[in-house]
């Protein structure tokens, strides 16, 4: 049997493209383009003018620092291929490999959540992460009962006693406050911050789906979380805090407010996103809320590690040391320069 022809289409101009997850939406894809110059494309076997029954979205990443790569999808925790069966998906995977070969890309990478063959032809697992989700359907009171009594419930009570105030918004001031906290957080971890333009573009492109929550002590922002809503899911994307105020319990307090709001709005899942498997502190934090853990694997053809992903390389050590000592403005500039190469 002749394999079906694989076509490439523009998901931003083709009205058939479905918003299967937050990472498939036109808003997310537009923000990727505006922030990093990545242009999204979709591979499909669906005929022009017919309903779109399958699709694999990806971006061409052209970097002088980390090489030319095909990524599905940059800066996205996961990107589920759209296909009803493995037989429908395999031509799309083969099509991506073909583009990588003919256009001389270093590798193709797929980031599925669940819908993927056990051993896709030509691909091997390159990285694995933990992915956490919290079921909100039992209601806020039941969810709260499952919080760790000391690590979460006690800190929520402490935050209330300390008079912390939660604000919500996406104003320029909210963005500036959040990014300033993010810069502090990334510096503590020895990493450059994501570009301010990324958050500005996400906010503009996703519109009302985005919420920035800030915890304030006597009017001063001391912690914040950046979330986006899609369908019945609240996606936690980024968090930041001032270490001088960690004892006040601002982060658990922020999540508790987000959970209460999500339940009131009829949302069913809080998606905590991905976590490095060796980040025990963040894994424990998410599971102290009662979130369940699953493993998410990224697949590459051919499999190889990213130059900036290996914390033992000399480049990573230089970046780590620079992040600890650069002034704020210089650190922000470093993040703006580096992030489009990491994807």
Shared domain for 258 and 150, answered yes or no, is yes
Peptide bond into 144 cis (omega under 30): no
Give a yes or no: residue 263 inside a domain. Answer: yes
Q: How many whole angstroms separate alpha carbon 23 and alpha carbon 209?
A: 12
Give a yes or no: residue 211 inside a domain. Answer: yes
Cα-Cα-Cα-Cα dihedral sign, residues 32, 34, 38, 41: positive
Show which of 102, 122, 142 is a domain's final residue.
122
Shared domain for 139 and 222, answered yes or no, is yes
At residue 321, the pLDDT reads 78
Shared domain for 136 and 254, answered yes or no, is yes
Report helix, strand or coil for 257. Answer: helix
Shared domain for 143 and 74, answered yes or no, is no
Output the CA torsion 166→168→174→180 (10° steps).
Answer: 40
At residue 194, the pLDDT reads 96
Confidence grade of residue 307 (pLDDT, cut at 50, 70, 90): very low
Domain range for 218: 132-296
Query: What separation in angstroms does the CA of 256 have from each of 110, 190, 261?
Result: 33, 28, 9
β-bridge partners, 109: 71, 300
Burial of 216 (0-12, 13-18, 19+ CB in 10 A): middle
Place of tokens 């502190």: 281
Show which of 296, 311, 336 is a domain's final residue.
296
Give a yes or no: residue 54 inside a domain. Answer: yes
pLDDT value at 254 more than 70: yes
pLDDT in tens, 65-89: 889 999 999 999 999 999 988 889 9
Give a yes or no: residue 308 inside a domain. Answer: no
Chain-centroid distance of CA 47 in Å reads 31
Helix H or strand E segment including 71: strand 67-72
Shared domain for 181 and 264, answered yes or no, is yes
Q: How many whole angstroms separate alpha carbon 274 and alpha carbon 125?
A: 16
Give a yes or no: residue 328 inside a domain. Answer: no
Q: Residue 200: which region, alpha, beta or left (left: phi > 0; alpha: psi -120 to 50)? A: alpha
At residue 121, the pLDDT reads 81
Show which of 98, 122, 146 is a domain's final residue.
122
Give a yes or no: residue 314 inside a domain. Answer: no
Give a yes or no: residue 148 inside a domain. Answer: yes
Q: How many whole angstroms separate alpha carbon 226 and alpha carbon 217?
A: 19
Shared domain for 116 and 145, answered yes or no, is no
Shared domain for 62 and 138, answered yes or no, is no
Whose CA is closest to 236, among 191, 272, 195? 272
Shared domain for 136 and 116, answered yes or no, is no
Total-model pTM: 0.94
Q: What is the CATH number of the domain that holds 107?
A: 3.40.630.30
Query: What separation in angstroms does the CA of 175 have from each of 76, 102, 151, 338?
Result: 20, 42, 28, 21
Q: How many whole angstroms separate alpha carbon 258 and alpha carbon 261?
A: 5
At residue 324, the pLDDT reads 79
The domain total for the chain is 2
Whose CA is closest to 199, among 157, 171, 164? 171
Whose CA is closest to 341, among 194, 129, 239? 194
Give a yes or no: residue 307 inside a domain. Answer: no
Q: How many whole angstroms separate alpha carbon 289 and alpha carbon 152?
A: 7
Shared domain for 94 and 196, answered yes or no, is no
Shared domain for 144 and 115, answered yes or no, is no
Shared domain for 171 and 153, answered yes or no, is yes
Confidence grade of residue 312 (pLDDT, cut at 50, 70, 90): very low
pLDDT in tens, 317-338: 777 777 878 898 999 999 999 9
Shared domain for 105 and 224, answered yes or no, is no
């Amino acid at each position: 049997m002749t394999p079906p022809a694989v076509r490439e289409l523009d998901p931003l101009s083709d009205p058939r493209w479905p918003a299967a997850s937050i990472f498939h939406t036109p808003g997310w894809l537009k923000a990727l383009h505006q922030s990093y110059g990545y242009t999204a494309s979709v591979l499909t076997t669906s005929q022009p003018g017919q309903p779109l029954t399958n699709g694999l979205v990806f971006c061409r990443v052209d970097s002088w620092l980390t090489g030319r790569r095909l990524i599905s999808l940059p800066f996205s925790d996961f990107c589920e291929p759209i296909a009803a069966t493995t037989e429908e998906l395999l031509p799309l995977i083969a099509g991506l490999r073909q583009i990588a070969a003919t256009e001389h890309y270093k590798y193709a990478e797929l980031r599925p959540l669940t819908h993927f063959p056990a051993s896709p032809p030509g691909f091997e697992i390159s990285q694995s992460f933990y992915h956490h989700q919290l079921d909100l359907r039992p209601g806020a009171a039941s969810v709260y009962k499952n919080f760790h009594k000391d690590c979460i419930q006690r800190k929520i009570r402490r935050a209330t006693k300390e008079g912390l105030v939660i604000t919500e918004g996406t104003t320029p001031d909210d963005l500036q406050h959040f990014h300033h906290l993010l810069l502090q957080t990334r510096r503590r971890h020895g990493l450059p911050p994501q570009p301010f333009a990324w958050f500005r573009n996400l906010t503009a492109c996703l519109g009302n789906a985005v919420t920035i929550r800030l915890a304030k002590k006597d009017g001063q922002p001391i912690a914040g979380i950046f979330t986006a809503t899609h369908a019945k899911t609240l996606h936690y994307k980024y968090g930041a805090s001032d270490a001088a105020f960690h004892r006040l319990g601002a982060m658990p307090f922020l999540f508790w407010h987000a959970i209460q709001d999500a339940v009131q709005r009829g949302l069913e899942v809080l998606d905590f996103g991905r976590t490095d498997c060796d980040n025990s502190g963040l894994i424990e934090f998410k599971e102290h809320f009662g979130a369940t853990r699953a493993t998410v694997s990224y697949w590459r053809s051919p499999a190889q590690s990213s130059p900036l992903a290996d914390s033992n390389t000399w480049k990573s050590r230089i970046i780590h040391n620079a992040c600890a000592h650069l002034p704020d403005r210089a650190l922000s500039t470093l993040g703006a320069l580096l992030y489009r190469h990491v994807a």
